[in-house]
Amino acid sequence: MSTHNRVLISAKAFIDHPQYFAPLADAGYEIGICEEGPLSAERLIELLPGHIAAIAAMDDYNAQVMAQASDLRVISRWGVGIDNIDLDAATRHGIVVCNTPGMVTSAVADMTFALMLSLAYDIPAAAERGRKGHWVQEKGADFFGATLGIIGFGSIGQAVAYRARGFDMRVVAYDPYVDVTQAAKLGVKLTDLSSVIQQADYLTLHCNLTEDNYHLIGAEQLAEMKPNAFLINTARGGLVDSAALLDALRAGQIAGVALDTLEQEPPDPADPILSAPRCLITPHNSFYNETSVRLVNTQVVQNVLDVMAGRRTQFVLNPETLR
């Protein structure tokens, strides 16, 4: 088989489930290098020669990578966010970029509630006391009927709001791109960013990372939060200024935080956020359940097959490359 029929795979959730490789092999493609990402730009430049497609993690597909990836025709992103992919550069070099929107929505929304309840009752600390036989009770925070603030009211933000109904939560949200009537259907009041931050008992982030919202939550926003409020981030690490967050936690300025994503992933073991007080950290796991793995693994393969066969895939992000 030609070495130019190979597919580079860096998405762990795909590597871990080789049963999804079969449609690629059946269509005449070879599974090339499988190396768990996120991969650096330098590593991608080393690995990509001879690969016509990539099933990608949060790898650094910058302009230099695109310029040197002469064999590459399609990047199929495992997930939604493409802040790690230079879309303009991909388009200039005729590389089709696809993603898999809407397929991890339920998983992330469920995990958001798991994290919020873990914060409310400090479940990790309580579990540790229980394992040690320290039968000491600690008072939790109110959850049922609390005010939930959602920043980013796309599919995941709306799924979180839908689940909040079961806890009789009052929900306020900020998203400049969502219509008020759409929010009203879920009983959600759209308002400005500052108002959401100030009102929330639980403030959860569900927006993409862009140049405009980098460090959306910084020292000023943390100062606006209630002292008994919790922050939850299952979106992108760069939305939160980690240095400002660390200062706020050390000063007892907010009640706590749950982070499923960090500015640097994996983190430097010496990163002080890893040992910050009242800080629950999970390793970017919110998207990862049985249903999301099945849906996304099926679609990332279909994206590759469609593009290589000249079929128009509904999840292409730069359709001009298909002309």
The number of beta carbons lying within 10 Å of the beta carbon of residue 8 is 27
Q: What is the pLDDT of residues 296-310, one digit of tens each?
A: 999 999 999 999 999
Cis ω on the peptide bond leading into residue 266 (within 30° of 0)? yes
Q: Give the tokens for residue 222.
A: 């943390």
Q: Is 70 helix (H, G, I), strand (E, B) or coil?
A: coil
Identify whether residues 111 and 241 lie together within a single domain. Answer: yes
pTM of the model: 0.88
Identify whether residues 259 and 113 lie together within a single domain. Answer: yes
CB within 8 Å of 243: residues ≥ 6 apart: none
The amino acid that residue 282 corresponds to is: T
What average pLDDT does the structure give for the chain? 95
Identify whether residues 181 and 303 lie together within a single domain. Answer: no
- In whole angstroms, give the CA distance from residue 64 to residue 72: 13
CB within 8 Å of 113: residues ≥ 6 apart: 160, 163
Q: What is the DSSP string of 1-25?
A: --GGGEEEE--HHHHT-GGGGHHHH
Would you name the residues annotated as active-site residues? 236, 265, 284
Identify whether residues 49 and 69 lie together within a single domain. Answer: yes
Share of the chain above pLDDT 90, in %: 91
Nearest Cα residue to 323 out of 308, 310, 304, 306: 310
Q: What is the pLDDT of residues 131-179, one digit of tens each?
A: 999 999 999 999 999 999 999 999 999 999 999 999 999 999 999 998 8
CB within 8 Å of 68: residues ≥ 6 apart: 45, 48
C-alpha gyration radius of the chain: 21
Nearest Cα residue to 263 out of 84, 75, 56, 20: 84
The number of beta carbons lying within 10 Å of the beta carbon of residue 210 is 12
pLDDT at 1 over 60: no
Identify whether residues 217 and 253 lie together within a single domain. Answer: yes
Q: Which contacts (CB < 8 Å, 24+ apart) does range 32-38 have?
A: 32/6, 32/7, 32/8, 33/6, 33/8, 33/9, 34/9, 34/10, 35/8, 35/9, 35/10, 36/10, 36/12, 37/10, 37/11, 37/12, 38/10, 38/84, 38/265
Q: Is 240 helix (H, G, I), strand (E, B) or coil?
A: strand
| Predicted local distance difference test score (pLDDT) of residue 82 | 87
Identify whether residues 49 and 155 lie together within a single domain. Answer: no
Rounded to 10 deg, the angle between the 123-131 and 105-120 helix axes is 60
- In whole angstroms, give the CA distance from residue 136 to residue 126: 8
Share of the chain above pLDDT 70, in %: 98
The amino acid that residue 297 corresponds to is: N
Identify whether residues 77 and 129 lie together within a single domain. Answer: no
CATH number of domain containing 84:
3.40.50.720
Identify whether residues 90 and 140 lie together within a single domain. Answer: no
Q: Which residue range is the domain that position 95 belongs to?
A: 3-101+289-322
Identify whether residues 114 and 256 lie together within a single domain. Answer: yes
Average pLDDT over residues 224-240: 97
Backbone angles phi, psi at 230, to 5 degrees: -115, 145
Average pLDDT over residues 100-104: 92
How would you class 232 by CB atoms within 10 Å of its CB: exposed for 0-12, middle for 13-18, buried for 19 or more? buried
| Predicted local distance difference test score (pLDDT) of residue 2 | 46
Identify whether residues 16 and 155 lie together within a single domain. Answer: no
pLDDT at 94 over 60: yes
Identify whether residues 49 and 136 lie together within a single domain. Answer: no
- Name the domain count of the chain: 2
Identify whether residues 36 and 60 lie together within a single domain. Answer: yes
Q: What is the pLDDT of residues 237-270, one digit of tens each?
A: 999 999 999 999 999 999 999 999 999 988 999 9
